[in-house]
A and B are shown apart, each in its own frame.
Chain A
Amino acid sequence: MRSSVIVFPGSNCDRDIAVALEKMQFKNQMVWHKETSLPKTDLIVIPGGFSYGDYLRSGAIAGKSLIIDEVIKFAKNGCLILGICNGFQILTETGLLKGTLLRNKNLKFINKDVNIKVLNNKTQFTSKYRINQVLNINIAHNEGNYFTDSKHLQELKNDNLIAFKYCDNKGNTNLESNPNGALDNIAGIFNSKKNILGMMPHPERMVDKFISNDDGVNLFSSLLN
């Protein structure tokens, strides 16, 4: 399985995701944002962290970079695309995923381990998880407060496009378990063809028991299938 990680100026979780992918036996390449073509690849990852300092809006400027046109082309052809954290923000800025990520409701950067649960395990990203399985995963963001219009929200629900929701350790999704104010506790969504996943939590931080836990492993092993 070949993967490509896009690197923008100021990206900072690019190495982390590359390490995780390699650990999971992906053949990974880093792709600089000024490239105009992508190598042959089965998975494109837009990493977390920051891009261009996220000075205007998170992901806005990266969303205009040269390589993004290629990413959009690959997406249309069904290539798998994973956007983590800033990557999710970039995907919404490019329109590959609908909605947007507003500032956290407490107006502060939040870094902590939170619980999310798997809402749909019939996708290439999540097949190794059980339905409603609760994962403990690290979040680190300033703008993770997912927002979309009511029509799209309905579509997300009807078509089973919500990948993960914030919850408590028993799987209840409620106000207390929502760290950032996201609409309906949404932590990650698919596009309608389910070849694109955007998520705020960082699965690449959860593949090493020495550092945290290995709740992120199955996301990568699902992709390997």
Chain B
Amino acid sequence: MKITNEIIEKHGLKLDEYKTIQKLLKRNPNILELGIFSAMWNEHCSYKSSRIHLKKLPTKGKKVIQGPGENAGVIDIGDNDAIVFKIESHNHPSYIEPYQGAATGVGGILRDVFTMGARPIALLNSIHFGSTTHPKTKSLLNGVVSGIGGYGNCIGIPTVAGETKFNETYNENILVNAMAVGLAKKNKIFYSKAKGLNKAVVYVGSKTGRDGIHGASMASAEFDENSEEKKPTVQVGDPFTEKLLLEACLELMKDDSIIAIQDMGAAGLTSSSVEMASKGSLGIELELDKVPCREDNMSPYEMMLSESQERMLIILEDGKEHHARKIFEKWDLDFVIIGKTNNSKNLTLKYNNKIEGEIPVEILATKAPIYDRKWVKKKVVQKKIAIKQLKKIKLEDALIKILSSPNHSNKSWVTDQYDQMVMCDTVQKSGSDAAVIRIHNTSKAIAVTVDSSANYCKSFPLTGSKQVVCENWRNLISVGANPIAITNCLNFGNPENKEIMGEFAECIQGIKEACEFLNFPVVSGNVSFYNGTNQKSIFPTPVIGGVGLIPDISKTLNHYFKKENSNILLIGKTFGHIEQSCFLKENFSISEGLPPEINLNNEKNNGETVLQLIRKNLVTSVHDISSGGLLVALSEMSIGSNLGAKIYKPKKLTNKFEYFFGEDQGRYIVEVEKTDLEKVIKMLNDNEVYYENIGKTQAKNFEVESEFNIGVNDLFKINNQWYNNY
């Protein structure tokens, strides 16, 4: 087949990229080789636009066992236990086919985690939909949620936390990010680096079909009106087979049969074999006639580019074949030796004993173009919103409006569709600041959470992304965990646009600053560009997934009020920053101005102090203050507990709306029993933490002094109606 410009373009390659290929190969590639280049050199696999920025992120730390670069990040949680975790996007497939797109997103991230030798113990997700009035939103929401549940429930891993948000910026491009967290033994982590010559390269799992061919290049191109028409073959998830694959892999991992293992994710057989060979500076020869195929007459091209799910590639130690085969056959899975390692440093593809393609691995893996794309700093527009000039509303009505809005409604409509309890180690489910998962058979636990703040990031990427990291950190602190490390999923628009690239660069800068200051390294992540349609990109949406450690499970806390007549303390200073607040957005549709500033010093000091209070058993409930500000956070503490609160109005109040709904950062609410108040205040003073004693818990009613008084039951109803009426 002659390679025309049109064919090159269809493969998502630019003409000058093709020229580079010719130069590197010193010849023209054939169509199979071109397909392989397109799979390896697209944005999704090569990170060509993001690489130089990603390098800035802090990835090292005392607890980091493996940073970015492997299938998932690994951190040390003591006692030879390690936590393996990563987040990944499945945005484009989920928009086209929400159920299967979301399901296979979950399946894919699970494989990333168990390839490393970890048993997955928790799933999280961050899902963003368009406006609730957009005609597609409802069915996308339904499909995505049931797809996430469908996969996780069936394979039997609890889905324990996440976020569900609506914003018209996602009307034509929803976000579906899935995160998986696994538990491994520190001395039994598996990597993808090939070692040794003449070792068997084994294909295990499902058969290869024609599904998802060019899925990876699809994830690297913008949508246009026709993409729904194009009907790319969407993959269908098979959680049952994945469960078998999981058990078989973990069984084989008990001894040292495996030299290297890599799941077949985006760009399937191509990227898995290239990755293993390139990490080990070896060559791999594959005999494609041996690849287990689901359809008749599949060509080498199709086999190499198929993205069929639930497959793995393993390099086996000599003499282990029989043992390994027995395990996979017990689990009714294909097990075929399809090739071997050699020292040629080439990827050699044979079909019927004929070489169909041969490319130096090095070229594929490391010679992909790297772009330092043009970017410009965000022009920040200071704008102070004067509440006095807005229409008059009541404090109570403003609160109700927020609590009943889609973005702040209780998410149990979503989370009731996920099995959160399977594995019986879920100490704290969805609905709390972070989910808490016990390490099986021990008295320690991990805390996990995902966060994002697209509105903040849009108006000021640098501060916005810093804020997301801080909020994540705060959520972990709030349940009593030492934050350890994060994974991140960077959902952005078209990187070829310099404003978008600027958003990306500045968001990375913000994440870097916050992570460095908080000693909260990045151990894994994923970049998803080209989110948007017809030149209209989505708001920059970095999603942060954090993990923390709770050494003693009895010292974990949630945000529900525990007792009547406790003191309610507000920790951290309230300035009343109202721009970019959900108060203005929900009540006045105003979304101008800058997000609240981040003071990393205060953030750290306040958080560490709160953690000390928790560890010393001096507080009975803790909640961080985020979107919605003080009053929303207080209501959430009430709603979950059935206990009310009486909040005093501060004496020198500039504006009550700014005070109650401002979104100043670095703040927490803690509940303190009378007997502990003195000790708590002493510790706060010793640590130079600003606090206010703002009220008391009480039975049944939630009230703000001389403003309003409402039954907790009613608050509950207000907070729980939206989804059921949608």
Contacts and interface: CB of A to CB of B under 8 A. Distances in A.
Q: Does chain A touch chain B in the assembled complex, meaning CB atoms less than 8 Å apart?
A: yes
B240 A19 contact: no
A140 B153 CA distance: 9
Interface in A118-150: 138, 140, 142
A49 B424 contact: no
A210 B438 CA distance: 9
A49 B422 contact: yes
A103 to B, nearest CB: 12
Interface stretch (A64-72, A93-101, A201-209): A201-209
Contacts of B146: 108-109
Given A9-B331, A109-B149, A205 B154 contact: no
Interface in B412-455: 412, 415-427, 438
Interface in A1-29: 9-13, 15-16, 19-20
B423 A111 contact: no
Interface string A132-171: 0000001010100000000000000000000000000000
Contacts, number: 83
A76 interface: no
A108 B147 CA distance: 11
B486 interface: no
A19 B424 contact: yes
Nearest to B157: A12
Contacts of B420: 111
A212 interface: yes
Contacts of A204: 424
Given A49-B422, A204-B424, A211-B425, A111 B417 contact: yes
Nearest to A34: B330
Interface residues of B, number: 32
Nearest to A107: B146
Contacts of B150: 109
A112 B412 CA distance: 9
B547 interface: no
Contacts of A10: 154, 240, 243-244
Contact of A16 (B153, B418, B423): B423
A49 B158 CA distance: 11
Contacts of B321: none
A12 B332 CA distance: 17
Contact of B416 (A9, A55, A110): A110
A88 interface: no
Interface string A193-206: 00000000010110
B243 A205 contact: no
Contacts of B569: none
Contacts of A205: 421, 424
A215 interface: no
B423 A109 contact: no
A200 to B, nearest CB: 13
Interface in B325-341: 331-332
Give the size range of A's interface with the partner.
20 to 34
Given A13-B156, A50-B156, A108-B146, A211 B438 contact: yes
Contacts of B241: 53
B332 A202 contact: no
A9 B421 contact: no
Contacts of A210: 427, 438, 553-554
A208 B153 contact: no
A42 interface: no
B421 A140 contact: yes
Given A111-B418, A111-B421, A9 B438 contact: no
Nearest to A20: B424
A109 B417 contact: yes
A202 B412 CA distance: 20
Interface in A32-71: 49-50, 52-55
A204 B243 CA distance: 21
B239 interface: yes
A50 B240 contact: yes
B155 interface: yes
A84 B146 CA distance: 23
Nearest to A208: B424
Contacts of B415: 111
Given A49-B422, A55-B240, A12 B156 contact: yes
B81 interface: no
B238 interface: yes
B554 to A, nearest CB: 8
A11 B156 CA distance: 8
A53 B424 contact: no
A54 B238 CA distance: 11
B416 A53 contact: no
A9 B238 CA distance: 13
A111 B155 contact: no
Nearest to B420: A111
Contact of A53 (B238, B332, B553): B238
A55 B237 CA distance: 12
Interface-central residue, B150, B417, B554, by most chain A CB under 10 Å: B417
A135 to B, nearest CB: 15
B421 A212 contact: yes
Interface of B: 146, 149-150, 153-156, 238-241, 243-244, 331-332, 412, 415-427, 438, 553-554
29 contacts: A10-B244, A11-B156, A12-B155, A13-B156, A15-B423, A19-B424, A49-B156, A50-B153, A50-B154, A50-B243, A53-B239, A109-B146, A109-B149, A109-B419, A110-B416, A111-B420, A112-B412, A140-B153, A140-B419, A142-B153, A208-B424, A210-B427, A210-B553, A210-B554, A211-B424, A211-B425, A211-B426, A211-B427, A212-B421
Given A10-B240, A205-B424, 16 more contacts: A9-B244, A13-B422, A20-B424, A49-B156, A52-B240, A53-B154, A55-B240, A111-B416, A111-B420, A111-B421, A140-B153, A140-B419, A202-B421, A204-B424, A208-B424, A211-B421
Lowest 6 A-B CB distances belong to which pairs?
A12-B156, A53-B240, A140-B419, A16-B424, A10-B240, A111-B419
